[in-house]
Structure 1
Amino acid sequence: MTLVQVRRDSLLRHPGFRQLFAGDSASQLGTFVGMTAIPLLAAVTLAATPFEMGLLTTAETLGFLLIGLPAGVWVDRLRKRSLMLAADLVRAGLLLSIPIAWWAGVLTMAQVLVIVLLTSFATVFFDVSYQAYLPALVGRERLLEGNAKLQGVQSCAQIAGPSVAGVLVQFLGAASTVVLTGAGYLVSALCLWRIRTAEQRPPRTGHERLVPQMLEGLRFVVADRPLRAIVACTATANMFSAAAQAVEVLFLTRTAGLSPAEVGMLLAVAGVGGIGAALCAGPIVRWFGQARSIWLLPLLTWPGGLLVPLAGRGWGLVLAGFGLALTGFGVILYNIAQVSYRQAITPDRLLGRMNASVRFVVWGAMPLGGLLGGALGEGLGLTGALWVAMAGQMAGALWVVCSPLRRMRDLPVAGKEAPETALPTA
């Protein structure tokens, strides 16, 4: 008898989803290790300036701005699992080159920026394929459960990854710790390769030109009023979150005086709230209603980010940790509700382009946020920049609070499976 009894109808009994779940666990752990180790490598080992840290944050997500829209068209034309597997292998090779260059004594900040930028291109294809693949793998009726379980994995990794990274950086060095990130992507690729659920090749639509197909995905997103508000909210929050990320590690190490291990432990606290959200997402979303969850939960939880600039020794550290946990709780619930809605209303043939169009906007805002954070760090100082970034992230919720979602309890999913021509005019 196992310690955890899996329900008879649980998706963890689904062979394909179980492999996706295992691969995602390894990939997410490696990702969060890298998200802590690489900024520490830049800030502590390579002595990066605030502006260079802003460039690093920009490079992490610039791929979504540069190739996000055409990537959606290509994803809709090809098998998603094959694209995800190839993206994992490319990311593993790129990131494993960082410790190799460090051991050879030739690693520079410029090399790190180029490697992170190229990795972001591979991440575009993986993420767009990933969200388009889940409905085909588990069915639309089980999207809420599937997204909740995968968000739970992300939250667990958000706890374990920074904690592990902080300790390993303390004892092995930041560059050597990046090995774990590359290894996570290799394990993810192996699990994807082992999925035996058949995936049909997407049919040809007859009009294969790139630009019209990109515009078709954008029109679908713009035509739905709740989806427009969701995209604007997420883009605003992501931009200021990236601005905070650009100065956060510098603030915690130089202003708050924390060690790499303490930085890792503090950043991991956000995952505690995320795990709680993933475990109770279904009951909470059903109780509040999906529309209400999208606007009310951010309004109640995202202000916790305003406690992060109080980080320091003693009670300051406790308050910052509580703020991160509260914000993490709200972000995960928001993501589960809005991603499930996006996947449910979108026809199969448009899933890749819809996801790419949304990510083009919401992740494309993050490179701008990284530059903004670097500029604010140079102009206002690390503490002032962090205050502005956290306030801006909280204000992103106003898009959904002031939208038609505020007058709804549940989202009108019924009848939204029609093609884009049946959608209301923007």
Structure 2
Amino acid sequence: MISLGDGVAVPQRRDRLGLLRERDFRDLFLSTTVAQVGYQITSLALPLAAVLALDAGELEVGALSSMTMIAFVLIGLPAGAWVDRMRRRRVMIVSDVVRAAVLLSVPIAWWTETLTIWQLYAVALVIGAFTVFFDVSYQSYLPHLVGRDKLVEGNAKLETVRSTAQLGGPVLAGQLIAWLTAPVALAFDAVALGASALFLLRIRRREPRPETAQGSRITTEVKDGLRFVFKNRILAAIIACTGSWNFWMGAFMAMIVVFLPRDMGLTPGEIGLFFALFGVGGVAGVFVVGPATRWLGQGRVVWISVAATSPWIVLIPLAEPGWGVWVGAAAMTFVGIGGVVYNVTQVSFRQRLTPDRMLGRMNATVRFIVYGAYAVGALLGGALGQALGARTTLWIAAIGVCTAFLPVFFSPLRNLRELPSPEPEPVPVAA
């Protein structure tokens, strides 16, 4: 039981529900749930469609992984300024619908025997472009929906969805791929994205008209966003850490979908189970983030969460066919714990620190850097995989992941317990 200030006792279950008692947040929560399950299907089915259905090589798989993220480099920065000029929920709905339509083209092409690696590249590129708009809008929309005082709770609940999807989604994806083939499994993500759009349509809270400086240009607004992010030492350190981690994980993930079926001999169902074990750590991380933040402090938990859990990743390239690969998969649960604790704390910090009119540009700047790093890392992983083999590439990437915490370690976060107060909002510059 939890006692309120007036002496009234309230069951703890009510406190755990929190924001889920609010209809609008509940609809966002449900939208996130179905979309994340679908995302897990596509994350596994799209590269396996290339590997298993088209017999793609390491470089082609690396390029495909890169295509889903390259849009953050091409349009990431202006997307933030555009989103700040539009109602964010509308952008999210349109993005869901377009991505669903594009995904449906893959099973249709497979059934008509016209599917090529170039179509998969195009699908990945379009999905990536509209994911840019969706993600920038999504993180910018949450503070409007729940208020800044509930951001940690809101982010933690949404992270629970993502982590649970990482737990069950790969298993479902693996079974769908085994039963229906990888291209056909993508149709289920299309259905999930359609359902996500319907839940977003149900949200009743009206968004205020976006505030845009009269006569301001996109380039000016982009520069405002860049200045806001990089003038803050802590924000800059967080971006460097996340970018480094994503760069090496891009190379790692590009090759693991080659390594598991070809070197380890895993079936699609077993590959799904492998990735589900990573999701176990994500679910555990949701329950760890609160106690860890109270024990270590809001600042120190950011770097410790990465430094203490990343080294477990080296067990994957150490694995041999048989039980060894499952020891590595189980060890990846610790990487999942660290990833969730890091994400919840650093995302909540960024949202709390940033004025509403700058949220889109701040999130776009962060995504431009960290997902751009992932895209480049995936390309590098494909090139190294073709030259050195998947296992050697996994070794190189794993060592890189272990060094990703250094930017936040050598920043004020190393000894910081409480987050600093928000900085004043910058004055927009009119053209």
Q: Specify if TM > 0.5.
A: yes
Q: Which residues of 2 match residues 63-78 of structure 1 at below 5 A?
A: 63-78=71-86
Shift of 1:132: 0.3
Shift of 1:10: 0.4
Which residue, 225, 231, 245 being the options, matches 2:253? Answer: 245
Return the alpha-carbon distance in structure 2 between the equivalents of residues 188 and 386 of structure 1: 35
Q: Which residue of 2 aligns with 1:307?
A: 315
- Classify 1:9/1:50 alpha carbon distance in 2 versus 1 (closer, same or farther; 3 Å): closer
Percent identical across equivalent pairs?
46
Q: Which residue of 2 aligns with 1:39?
A: 47
Q: Which residue of 2 aligns with 1:362?
A: 370
Number of aligned positions between the proteins: 417
Return the alpha-carbon distance in structure 2 between the equivalents of residues 377 and 25 of structure 1: 34
**What do residues 68-112 of structure 1 show as CA deviations (whole Å, max 9, x unaligned)?**
000000111110000000000011000111111111111111101
Return the alpha-carbon distance in structure 2 between the equivalents of residues 411 and 387 of structure 1: 35
Which residue, 65, 68, 73 being the options, matches 1:57? Answer: 65
Shift of 1:420: 3.3
Q: Which residues of 2 match residues 164-203 of structure 1 at below 5 A?
A: 164-203=172-211
Q: Which residue of 1 aligns with 2:331?
A: 323
CA contact (8 A) 1:156 1:275 kept: yes
Letter in 2 for 1:293: V
CA contact (8 A) 1:257 1:312 kept: no
Q: Which residues of 2 match residues 255-266 of structure 1 at below 5 A?
A: 255-266=263-274
* Structure 1 residue runs without a partner (length 5+): 422-426
**What do residues 263-311 of structure 1 show as CA deviations (whole Å, max 9, x unaligned)?**
1100111110100111332222122111111011111001111111133
More moved, 184-193 vs 400-409: 400-409
Aligned: 1:27 with 2:30: no
Return the alpha-carbon distance in structure 1 between the equivalents of residues 27 and 389 of structure 2: 46
TM-score with structure 1 setting the length: 0.95
* Structure 2 residue runs without a partner (length 5+): 1-11
Shift of 1:216: 0.2
**What do residues 47-74 of structure 1 show as CA deviations (whole Å, max 9, x unaligned)?**
0000000100110101100000000001
Q: Which residue of 1 aligns with 2:262?
A: 254
Q: Which residue of 2 aligns with 1:111?
A: 119
Which residue, 221, 240, 244 being the options, matches 1:213? Answer: 221
Q: Which residue of 2 aligns with 1:277?
A: 285
More moved, 181-190 vs 310-319: 310-319
Return the alpha-carbon distance in structure 1 between the equivalents of residues 401 and 189 of structure 2: 28
Aligned: 1:419 with 2:425: yes
Shift of 1:366: 1.2
Moved over 6 A (4+): none
CA contact (8 A) 2:169 2:276 kept: yes
Letter in 2 for 1:418: P
Letter in 1 for 2:45: A
CA contact (8 A) 1:258 1:312 kept: no
Which residue, 391, 404, 408 being the options, matches 1:396? Answer: 404
Letter in 1 for 2:36: Q
Shift of 1:323: 2.3
CA contact (8 A) 1:6 1:12 kept: no
- Classify 1:8/1:170 alpha carbon distance in 2 versus 1 (closer, same or farther; 3 Å): closer
Q: Secondary structure at the match of 2:417?
A: coil
Q: Secondary structure at the match of 2:389?
A: helix
Letter in 2 for 1:205: A
Letter in 1 for 2:424: A
Return the alpha-carbon distance in structure 2 between the equivalents of residues 407 and 125 of structure 1: 35
CA contact (8 A) 2:65 2:375 kept: yes
Letter in 1 for 2:329: G
Aligned: 1:375 with 2:411: no
Q: Which residue of 2 aligns with 1:424?
A: none
CA contact (8 A) 1:145 1:282 kept: no
Letter in 2 for 1:238: N
TM-score with structure 2 setting the length: 0.94
Q: Secondary structure at the match of 2:309?
A: helix
Q: Secondary structure at the match of 2:299?
A: helix
Cα RMSD for the two superposed structures = 1.5
Letter in 1 for 2:106: I
